[in-house]
Chain A
Amino acid sequence: MSWRDIIKRSARSLRQAKVRTLLTAAALAVGGFTLSATLAAANGAKAYGNKLVDTNFDPSSLIVAKSKDLISANGVATKPQLYNSSFVSNGVKGGLVQELNQKDLNRLATFPGVLNVFEPYTSSLLYVSRQGSLKYTGSIEAYDPYITHQFVAGTIKGQVPVGDVVLPEDYLSLLKFKNPKTAIGQSVNVQIRQLLGQQKTETYKIIAILSSPTTLISGNINTTLLVNAVQAKSIYDFINQGTINYDRYLIATVRVKDGTNPNKLLITQRAIEKAGYGAESAKDAQATITQIVNVLQIIIIVFGLITLVASFFGVVNTQYISVLERTREIGLMKALGMRSSSVRWLFIVEASWIGGLGAVIGSLLAVVIGTLLNPWISRQINFSNSKLLIFEPSQIIALIIFLIIVATIAGLLPARKASRLNPIDALRTE
Chain B
Amino acid sequence: MIELKNVSKIYGKKDSRFAALENINLQLPESKTIAVVGKSGSGKSTLLHLLGGLDRPSNGEIFIYGQNLVKLKSREIDLYRSKVLGFVFQSFFVEANQTCYQNVSLPLEINHVLPRKRRQMIEKALSQVDLSDKIKSKAGTLSGGQKQRLAIARAIVNQPKVILADEPTGNLDSSTGDRVIDLLFTLHDQIGSTLIIVTHDIDIANKCDIQVFIKDGHIEKVSK
Contacts and interface: CB of A to CB of B under 8 A. Distances in A.
Given A2-B112, A336-B106, A338-B110, A427 B80 contact: no
Contact of B107 (A336, A342, A423): A336
B188 to A, nearest CB: 20
Nearest to B55: A424
B93 A16 contact: no
Interface string B83-110: 1010101110101011000100011011
B54 interface: yes
B54 A335 contact: yes
A12 B52 contact: no
A331 B82 CA distance: 14
A423 B82 CA distance: 14
A307 B109 CA distance: 38
A413 to B, nearest CB: 21
Given A12-B102, A16-B97, A336-B82, A430 B91 contact: yes
Interface of A: 1-2, 4-5, 9, 12, 16, 328-329, 331-333, 335-340, 342, 423-424, 427, 430
B49 interface: yes
B78 A1 contact: no
B87 A5 contact: no
A1 B97 CA distance: 20
B209 to A, nearest CB: 26
B109 A337 contact: no
Contacts of A424: 49, 54-55
A330 to B, nearest CB: 11
B81 interface: yes
B101 to A, nearest CB: 12
B72 interface: no
B106 A339 contact: no
B93 A332 contact: yes
A335 B52 contact: yes
Given A1-B110, A333-B110, 9 more contacts: A2-B109, A2-B112, A5-B109, A12-B98, A16-B98, A332-B106, A337-B85, A339-B78, A427-B89
Nearest to A5: B109
A340 B75 CA distance: 9
Contact of B81 (A4, A12, A337): A337
Contacts of B12: none
B222 interface: no
B115 A4 contact: yes
Contact of B82 (A9, A332, A337): A337
A421 to B, nearest CB: 12
Nearest to B110: A338
B1 interface: no
16 contacts: A1-B109, A2-B112, A4-B115, A12-B102, A329-B95, A335-B81, A335-B87, A336-B107, A336-B110, A337-B78, A337-B79, A338-B82, A342-B110, A423-B54, A424-B55, A430-B91
Interface in B39-80: 49, 52, 54-55, 74-75, 78-80
A372 B78 CA distance: 55
A337 B80 contact: yes
A348 to B, nearest CB: 17
B200 to A, nearest CB: 15
Contacts of A329: 95
B54 A337 contact: no
Given A1-B110, A12-B98, A423-B54, A339 B93 contact: no
Contacts of A1: 109-110, 112
A5 B112 CA distance: 9
A338 B87 CA distance: 13
Contacts of B102: 12
Contacts of B52: 335
B90 A430 contact: yes
A331 B111 CA distance: 17
A130 B54 CA distance: 102
Which are the 4 A-B pairs with shortest beta-carbon distances?
A: A337-B82, A337-B81, A5-B109, A337-B78
Contacts of B74: 340
Contact of B83 (A333, A337, A339): A337
Nearest to B85: A337
Contacts of A337: 78-83, 85, 107, 110-111
Contacts of B109: 1-2, 5, 9
A118 to B, nearest CB: 73
A427 B74 CA distance: 19
Contacts of A16: 97-98
B136 to A, nearest CB: 14
